[in-house]
A and B are shown apart, each in its own frame.
Chain A
Amino acid sequence: MDFLRPARWEEALAAKAEHPTAVPIAGGTDVMVEINFDHRRPEYLLDLNRIGELSEWEVGQENVRLGACVPYSHIMEHLRAELPGLALASHTVASPQIRNRGGVGGNLGTASPAGDAHPALLAAGAEVEAESVRGTRMIPIDAFYTGVKRNALAPDELIRAVHIKKADGPQQYSKVGTRNAMVIAVCAFGLALHPETRTVRTGIGSAAPTPVRAKEAEEFLNAALEEGGFWDSRTIITPSIAKQFADLAAGACNPIDDVRGTASYRRHAVGIMARRTLGWTWESYRGNGRSTEGAA
């Protein structure tokens, strides 16, 4: 095994081009587990910790450009206003020790269907900034997850940053697990209201081979909210609408039975989380809702 320690981003790209099998390591919270358990013996480890810019973020007009290695603890602490859904999701990641190391770039690189950040990214709307010596491309988050632990990156590409839409309305995140800390999601759900475009976006975690949006549920809800004039009246969403939304969200799942839960439980729980997160965010939108503090 070789340990590659690029000091600058350009060097990292050159190293990845020269050794496409090199495994990038940032927080190490996925990669080191695999190495410790002898599940993986990469030829090259490509350490990204020395590249300072990867741990920085910029808040722009429309987006937050989040460096691939910004740890979850910083997202929770500094980006709660701009990225409330992702901040809530970050808070559900493992433990303080893990949140101090792990970040969204690693979550995307691993592309586990259970990755905590994915539902929040899908709901907020995001693009992955992937780069190689050949150039930079922006991959829409919807097109990024291609299979179980597979993503749209080419072998010579690295994730430099994620561009996430700044919240223009309330966002929520919900995760089912046996306890609050150190839990891999049984399933998870992210929801973002976008009052500027009068749309609702969702993200489902751990209930399909990849993180997915509940697109039919979104389309139904967008039409129902428009038709009922809810965005203007800010009245309570009719229970039948919320139920239909929840049923459609459950229908968007394609889960499996595994040690953490059964497929039918996951479908059921996603429906419940869809209804609850819609209720919480809508109450916030109406002006009397719970805050995003610790609501996960």
Chain B
Amino acid sequence: MRVNFTVNGRRYEADDVWEGESLLYVLRERMGLPGSKNACEQGECGSCTVRLDGVPVCSCLVAAGQVEGREVVTVEGLADFAARRSQAHPGRGHLPHAERSGGGCASGACGTALDKARQWEAEPAGEETRDTGELSPIQQAFIDAGAVQCGFCTPGLLVAADELLERNPEPSDADIREALSGNLCRCTGYEKILDAVRLAAARAEETV
């Protein structure tokens, strides 16, 4: 079947999608967006967390057909998403979906090709993101706080933490733990991850 939806502000069209396929599979294997990680495939680990119409969900548990006409933000679009949010609402607040623009893509060839994705190296964002290599505040905070070890859980945590701070700019420790309770880190680097979220919140407060 064919599925049309918006990913990180761009319209995508995926063809020959198997009806039982997950959103995660479509993102990683068909759109060349390998940022969302595939680990447990049962919603336990949170490493595939994306925003679906603004709501954090495990993309491994969303059937591809269910995203028809909807908007997805992955970790690849997080910096851009955060930048647009702060432009639209300096300080805080949620960015209405209508305020995000979408580029045109009729062929499904936009995004990162699979072979290109396979050659991807851990360098500052390249052309696959539309920004200039800038990181979102939460990404920068993860780096500065040393919250990344093996990195596998990081994309899901970034998406979840970014949504927390959007909703609750001054979270308590309990709020942070709750918001990240669906994201497992098997390096057990949780303390640094909590530090990173506190750091991002503190920095946001300073700039308001």
Contact = CB atoms under 8 A, between A and B. Distances in A.
Interface of A: 1-3, 5, 25, 27-29, 31-33, 35-37, 41, 45, 47, 49, 94-98, 100-101, 180-182
B19 A33 contact: no
Given A3-B1, A37-B42, A101 B62 contact: yes
Given A3-B19, A96-B179, A97-B56, 18 more contacts: A28-B63, A32-B43, A32-B63, A33-B41, A33-B42, A35-B22, A36-B22, A36-B60, A37-B41, A45-B20, A45-B65, A95-B181, A96-B56, A97-B43, A97-B58, A98-B61, A101-B62, A181-B182
B49 interface: yes
13 contacts: A2-B19, A25-B63, A25-B66, A31-B63, A33-B42, A36-B42, A45-B63, A49-B66, A95-B182, A97-B56, A97-B58, A180-B181, A181-B181
B15 interface: no
B206 to A, nearest CB: 27
B43 A33 contact: yes
A32 B60 contact: yes
Given A5-B68, A94-B182, A98-B182, A28 B61 contact: yes
A97 B58 CA distance: 6
Contact of B63 (A37, A47, A98): A47
Nearest to A180: B181
Contacts of A181: 181-182
Interface in B61-77: 61-63, 65-66, 68
B65 A5 contact: yes
B153 to A, nearest CB: 13
B57 A100 contact: yes
Interface of B: 1, 18-20, 22, 41-44, 46, 49, 55-58, 60-63, 65-66, 68, 160, 178-179, 181-184
A144 B173 CA distance: 41
A33 B61 contact: yes
B71 to A, nearest CB: 14
Contacts of A5: 65, 68
Nearest to A2: B19
Given A3-B19, A182-B181, A47 B66 contact: yes
A96 B19 contact: no
Nearest to B38: A36
Contacts of B184: 182
Contacts of A101: 57-58, 61-62
Given A101-B62, A180-B181, A96 B160 contact: yes
B166 to A, nearest CB: 13
Contacts of B20: 1, 35, 41, 45
Given A1-B20, A36-B42, A97-B46, A29 B178 contact: no
A33 B43 CA distance: 8
Contacts of B19: 1-3, 45
